[in-house]
Amino acid sequence: MLKISNLQARVESKEILRGINLEIKPGEIHAIMGPNGSGKSTLASVLAGREDYEVTGGTVEFNGKDLLELAPEERAAEGIFLAFQYPVEIPGVTTINFLKTAINQIRKYHEKEPLDAAQFLKLMKEKAKSVKIDDQLLRRSLNEGFSGGEKKRNEIFQMAMLEPSLGILDETDSGLDIDALKIVADGVNQLRSSDRSFIVVTHYQRLLDYIVPDFVHVLYKGRIVKSGTKELALELEEKGYDWIKSEADALEASMV
Amino acid sequence: MSFQNIQAQFEAEFENIQKKLNGQSGSDFNTIRKESFVKFKQLGIPTVKHEDWKYSNLKNLDKIQFSFNAKSNFSKSDLDALPFSSLEGISICFVNGVFSEQLSQLGNTPKIKVLTLEAAIEQIPNVIEKHYGSYIETEKEGLSALNNALSNSGSVIVIDENYVLESPIIIRYISDVKTADIAVNIHNLIVVGKHSEAKIVEIFQTEGEKTAFSNLVTEIFVDKDAIAHYYKIQDENDQSYHVGTTQVNQEDKSYFYSATITLNGGFVRNNLNLVLNGQYIDNHMYGLYIPNGKQHVDNHTLVDHKMPNCESNELYKGVLMDSSNGVFNGKIFVREDAQKTNAYQNCRNVITSDTASMNSKPQLEIWADDVKCSHGTTTGKLNDDAIFYMQSRGIPKPEAIRLQLVAFAEDVVSQIKIEELREMLDSMIENKLK
């Protein structure tokens, strides 16, 4: 489904991703962990197409297409969804209106007829129920005045509506208490299927108790320095990142 | 000296009007005209040296040879082809400053008078004597003095006491500039009687691509406990010059609710002046301007709090595209006696191009000590994060921008109390913000 090869990216003159290799098959959940500043969120943003980052090398293939050639909206239409770490507030645009526009633009991309108001509302009610988000919240301006938990839940709701084939959760657990975390994780788990994959970017192991990954990768200084299964996350929880840092630094030193 | 050519044209037109008076040259009305013309000659047309005209330059007016009595064959079917033509209500229509009976639907009743100035002078002389020209400031504004001197048409609308008029009253101004550059001076009077309520809509449109110079004054008297809704809608061509002053006088416990929406216009200067001549007065002023190309839109507002316990609220919003310019100047005076005044003002602008500009200036002068006043002005670009957020959900960038701009404008349009008008504006705004 997704094949990242030697991906390199920078912001201004600062290199942040320095050769990422990662392959994700349908139905898999990959967790990306790592210390602060290791490039986790950059990877998520580059995959979604944020312009602030300049891709300087490598390739990303998504369902047979060259992902890096596509505009952000085309990536979304092809099935990539980024749940933001900091969802943006958009005054005056309701979540309903926003999603209706989004869904119909994606349908247009696939040369499908737009959903009419009744079809859209039916879909919305169904999905809102499944991720336990209040209808009233969706009638308000997008994310405006929402609590942290409401914003994150709204991200998961949007994901449920857009039904992507690859969901990327960028530190979705940050700033959530345990109850909010469980609700968000439940939402994600409901969306798991044999043809939908996830990349879960997180600093802490905590979220992975609820969204159980198939693979765990540790990102450090812009590279994946260790990969394993969910046990790796538990080990990191117990021992911290320092042992990985020294291992990686020693390896890099020996290569110079 | 600047404006020599145009001043000479106005002088010739003034002489022309004086010649046609046939024995009425000594009337009170004409005395005011003559005095006003003297005033105009002293003040002249404002230049950018004039503090209130610093950012709005009329200099190109001087290059144009205007026709003051341009004939027009503008017909009912021409009107039907223009936006807003299907808006329902009592209506009075002026084409090139001349009342058109064919294009109006006056619908006078014992409680409502919608008349031309000429008819009003005959039928309700006492109203004219009391109100007409009583509120407009001509001492400092050359163009208002010019309007007083040259205007020989206009509408007079009077809502009697204790009457709530549901249907809007529409004043349409068509500048037919298919063949000639025209100049018009129109002076209106609107009186909303005690305990009454009315909705007034002024709509300005052009037909053709030559220049219209419209110099307008609308005086509005809102009597005790009355409610007046006033919507000014401008959709004129890129060659047009529009200088319009709306002078409002509010009495005790009255409510004035306005929205000034500039969809299009080459050069637009709107003055909205409110004098709060009583206690427990409330008013809301909203404005929206969305200039593109080289359009220039200038809104000057003034609220004069003279008495205690009044409230004024102001929100103006602009979307400035291409190489357009916007100006906002909001004066609020709180006089010594106007204790317990609440006065709020906000001007927010979005610039969508590197060559557009906005000059925004709040001006508060407060002599009373027990008041609540606030003002704020912001001008900026749309948030890139918000655009990316929308794109990441499948919405192409141009659509993401449009959606945000429409939402930004909606804050103002949603305040309009005539649903049909709101819908018409929504679709025109959505089209222009593409």
**Residue B429 contacts residue B263 (beta carbons within 8 Å):** yes
Q: A183-187, B192-196, B364-368: lowest mean pLDDT where?
A: A183-187
CB atoms within 10 A of CB B73: 9
Is residue A221 over pLDDT 60?
yes
Closest of B254, B352, B253, B364 to residue B303, by C-alpha: B364
Cα separation, B328 vs B330, in Å, equals 6
Domain boundaries, chain A: 2-255
Cα separation, B217 vs A169, in Å, equals 60
* pLDDT for the residue A80: 97
Interface of B with A (CB under 8 A): 383-386, 388-397, 399, 403-404, 407-408, 410-411
Is residue B427 over pLDDT 90?
yes
Q: Per residue in A153-164, is it b (16+ CB within 10 Å) or e — as a string?
A: bbbbbbbbbbbb
Average pLDDT on B336-357 reads 96
Interface of A with B (CB under 8 A): 48-51, 71-73, 75-77, 81-82, 84, 87-93, 97-99, 101-103, 105-106, 109, 141, 158, 162
**Residue B116 contacts residue B208 (beta carbons within 8 Å):** no
Residue A246: half-sphere exposure toward Cβ, Cα within 13 Å: 4
Is residue A86 over pLDDT 90?
yes
Percent share of chain B, pLDDT over 90 = 91
B395/A102 touch (CB, cutoff 8 Å), yes or no: yes
B395/A105 touch (CB, cutoff 8 Å), yes or no: yes
Is residue B1 over pLDDT 60?
no
**Residue B72 contacts residue B96 (beta carbons within 8 Å):** yes
Alpha helices in A131-177 (DSSP H): 135-138, 148-162
Average pLDDT on B140-148 reads 92
Is residue B57 over pLDDT 80?
yes
Is residue A256 over pLDDT 70?
no
B391/A92 touch (CB, cutoff 8 Å), yes or no: no
B396/A162 touch (CB, cutoff 8 Å), yes or no: no
Is residue A130 over pLDDT 90?
no
Cα separation, B5 vs A11, in Å, equals 59
Structure tokens at B221: 């008297």
- pLDDT digits 0-9 by tens, A24-36: 999 999 999 998 8
Is residue A176 over pLDDT 70?
yes
CA-to-CA dists, residue B60 to B3, B67, B211, B319, angstroms? 9, 16, 11, 25
- pLDDT digits 0-9 by tens, B321-340: 999 999 999 999 999 999 99
Cα separation, B234 vs B290, in Å, equals 11
Of A71, A88, A99, the CB nearest to B385: A88
Using an 8 Å CB-CB cutoff, list chain A residues near B403: 93, 97-98, 101
Kindly indicate whether the domain formed by A2-255 is annotated with CATH number 3.40.50.300.
yes
Give, as one character, the DSSP assignment of residue A85.
S
Mean of the per-residue pLDDT values for chain B?
Answer: 95
A42 versus A248: the higher-pLDDT residue is A42
Structure tokens at A252: 């890099």
B396/A84 touch (CB, cutoff 8 Å), yes or no: no
> ipTM of the predicted structure?
0.95
Using an 8 Å CB-CB cutoff, list chain B residues near A87: 389
Amino acid at site A79 = G
Residue B338: half-sphere exposure toward Cβ, Cα within 13 Å: 27
B386/A88 touch (CB, cutoff 8 Å), yes or no: yes
**How sure is the predictor about A111, in pLDDT bands with cuts at 50, 70 and 90?**
very high
Nearest chain B CA: its distance from A254 CA (Å): 41
Domain boundaries, chain B: 4-277, 383-434
Chain A residue with minimum CA distance to B385:
A88
